């Protein structure tokens, strides 16, 4: 069965500091991995995805994520946080071999960036 | 390009009432989805439509029905609303379902059942 864990409900970081939002996953096959961001009273917006190839994936707004197969992780990172990055972040996984149409979302991590 | 649109934005129902949530996309996507979002639980898939003319159950289909009216539109119906269906509902679409394509989400419908 597929699952996604985001171990931190909330991450606090000062503006200008690097940020990391953690995600680990479990699939029986090979994963497609995604990060989405949700601003208040809005739908989710796609940030980046890992399909295959280079383990470091770059996405929108300066975010990047690193796929680590041995640790089954896909942590979201940004070198220098902005106040406007404050939002709810979701990691998601689809098993490319057996998952069919099902994308599993994590519970979300709320990021607060303090000025 | 409006992307994915949903109506209504807010709705309050009494237990036992019915309603239909509407969703439309203008990106010519093949696959469409309905999710519910509850605090601390992420998004859970209710139903999806891989392509026009097909629909399938997701993780939490009980109490819901769907219709893929055409390629653009995918509606979600609550036949007899229950307080447990109080949630925020999101419609999404993607180019294809069984692949690596990301999903595009609508703004959501906040439903309260009293």
User: Which residues of B lie closer than 8 Å to A, measured between beta carbons?
Assistant: 4, 31, 35, 40-45, 48, 50, 56, 58-59, 90, 92, 97-100, 102-108
- Confidence label for B7 from pLDDT (cuts 50, 70 and 90): very high
Nearest-by-Cβ selection for B41 from A34, A102, A107: A107
Block mean pLDDT (10 aa), chain A, length 115: 92 98 92 94 92 92 95 97 96 81 90 97
Q: Which two tokens stand for residue A75?
A: 């942590």
pLDDT digits (tens, 9 = 90+) for B56-73: 999 999 999 999 989 999
Q: Which of A40, A76, A75 is nearest to A60 (CA)?
A: A76
Touching B: A residues 80-99, CB under 8 Å: 90, 94, 96
- pLDDT, position B39: 84
Contact A72, A30 (CB under 8 A): no
Handedness of CA B4, A109, A58, A114 (dihedral sign): positive
CB contact under 8 A, A44 and B90: yes
């Amino acid at each position: 069965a597929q699952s996604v864990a985001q171990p931190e409900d909330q991450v606090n970081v000062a503006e200008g500091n690097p940020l990391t939002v953690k995600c680990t996953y479990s699939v029986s096959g090979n994963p497609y991995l995604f990060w989405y961001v949700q601003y208040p009273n809005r739908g989710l917006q796609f940030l980046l995805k890992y399909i295959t190839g280079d383990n470091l994936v770059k996405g929108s707004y300066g975010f990047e994520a690193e796929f680590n197969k041995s640790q089954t992780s896909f942590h979201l990172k940004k070198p220098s946080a902005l106040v406007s990055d404050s939002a709810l972040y979701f990691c998601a996984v689809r098993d490319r071999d057996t998952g069919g149409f099902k994308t599993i979302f994590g519970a979300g991590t709320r990021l607060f960036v303090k000025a | 390009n409006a992307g994915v649109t949903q109506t209504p934005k807010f709705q309050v129902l009494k237990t036992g009432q019915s309603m239909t949530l509407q969703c439309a996309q203008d990106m010519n996507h093949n696959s469409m989805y309905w999710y519910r979002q509850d605090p601390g639980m992420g998004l859970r898939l209710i139903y999806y439509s891989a392509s026009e003319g097909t629909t399938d159950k997701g993780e939490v289909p009980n109490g819901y029905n769907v219709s893929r009216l055409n390629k653009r539109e995918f509606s979600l119906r609550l036949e007899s609303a229950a307080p447990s269906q109080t949630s925020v509902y999101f419609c999404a679409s993607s180019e294809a379902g069984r692949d690596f394509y990301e999903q595009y989400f609508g703004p959501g419908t906040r439903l309260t059942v009293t």
